[in-house]
Structure 1
Amino acid sequence: MTYVKFNNTPVAKSFGGLVEEIFNGANLNKFIKDDFNTADFFGAHPPVNILETKEAYVLDLLVPGLNKEDFKISLENKVLTVSAEREKEAETKDENQKQIRREFSFRSFKRSFTLNEQVDAAKIQAKYENGILKVTLSKKENIQDPVKAIVVE
């Protein structure tokens, strides 16, 4: 039988020692510092769901806390770019109030998608509702070339 050592800590720990390890451990501090304590909780860009139907592609971007005026959507060289920027609100000073903690953040993002030949650029639509930006990319109608008889000479 081989003895495998998992860690150097004793088996019996006090409750205080266990709590201290959980809240002051390097892993938790790194997790909180890197994810929750940053100005951009979602990472470099907001998460997106992409759905394809017979008529269109639909992009759903999760961007809560913004207004529809904050978004800028552009199409250039078959690249659709969705971005948003929100100005930081002016802080009001009140002698009766003292802010203890501030976790609300004002973030900006920019995300690009390369479109294929099927997308009709003239029929792109966007709608912002309940924290989700829905961009509908209509597909071009399949117009086939007429059948042409070719004479062999």
Structure 2
Amino acid sequence: MNGLFRPSADLFEQLSRLQNQFDQAFFSPGTSIRALAGANFPAINVGSTPDTVEVMALAPGLDPTAIQLTIDHGLLTISGERLSTLPEPSERTGIYAQERFTGAFRRVLSLPDDIDPAKVDASYQDGVLRVTLSRRESAKPRRIEIT
């Protein structure tokens, strides 16, 4: 084996130290790599048809009245806040794991140029926010008769 890589007995200790340094540099105290999932809340699926663009945001546990949708300059913004249902930590209680995201969130999606901002429908059912954005009639393909 050449001298470039020599595994040692403390390799895992070195990796653990590196992970701790990474966490200190990029995360606030008490967070971990698992907490990054909150940065992408809600998870979003986007699809398209010839007539619409469909956005489905997977956002269980939200009050639909607490969700704000806006369209401005070709951007769809989904924002709101998911409140915690856990008791506040005290002398008698403590939280030792919390993987469900809580707090304010904001997702911004760039929309195609042919979306009509006046024709948007949104519904929330079973934890899924569904946004249907219609395309402008002038942007849809049409057949032209030759005379």
Instruction: Using structure 2 for the length normalisation, give the TM-score.
Output: 0.63
Going by fraction, where is helix more abundant, 1 or 2?
2
1:39-82 per-residue CA deviation (whole Å, 9 max, x = no partner) reads x6332553322111122111122323212122000122333221
Paired residue secondary structure (1:25): helix
The count of residues paired between Structure 1 and Structure 2 equals: 137
Whichever residue aligns with residue 35 of structure 1, its letter is I
Going by fraction, where is strand more abundant, 1 or 2?
2
Paired residue secondary structure (1:42): helix
Partner of 1:3: 2
1:114 aligned to 2:119? no
Whichever residue aligns with residue 98 of structure 1, its letter is T
Identity rate, percent: 24
- 1:143 Cα deviation from its structure 2 partner: 8.0
Partner of 2:75: 79
Q: Which ranges in structure 1 are unaligned for 5 or more consecutive residues?
A: 11-16, 148-153
Residues 43-82 of structure 1: matches in 2 within 5 Å?
A: 43=39, 45-82=41-78
Partner of 1:25: 16
Mark the CA change 1:45 to 1:99 in structure 2 (over 3 Å): closer, same or farther: closer
**RMSD (CA atoms):** 4.0
1:127 aligned to 2:123? yes
- 1:34 Cα deviation from its structure 2 partner: 3.2
Partner of 1:101: 96
> Rg bigger for which structure?
1
- 1:87 Cα deviation from its structure 2 partner: 4.3
Distance 2:132 2:122 in 1: 6
Whichever residue aligns with residue 58 of structure 1, its letter is E
Match of 1:34 among 29, 32, 43: 32
Instruction: Using structure 1 for the length normalisation, give the TM-score.
Output: 0.61
Mark the CA change 1:85 to 1:92 in structure 2 (over 3 Å): closer, same or farther: closer
The farther-off stretch of 51-60 and 83-92 is 83-92
Q: Which ranges in structure 2 are unaligned for 5 or more consecutive residues?
A: 24-29
Distance 1:7 1:64 in 2: 48
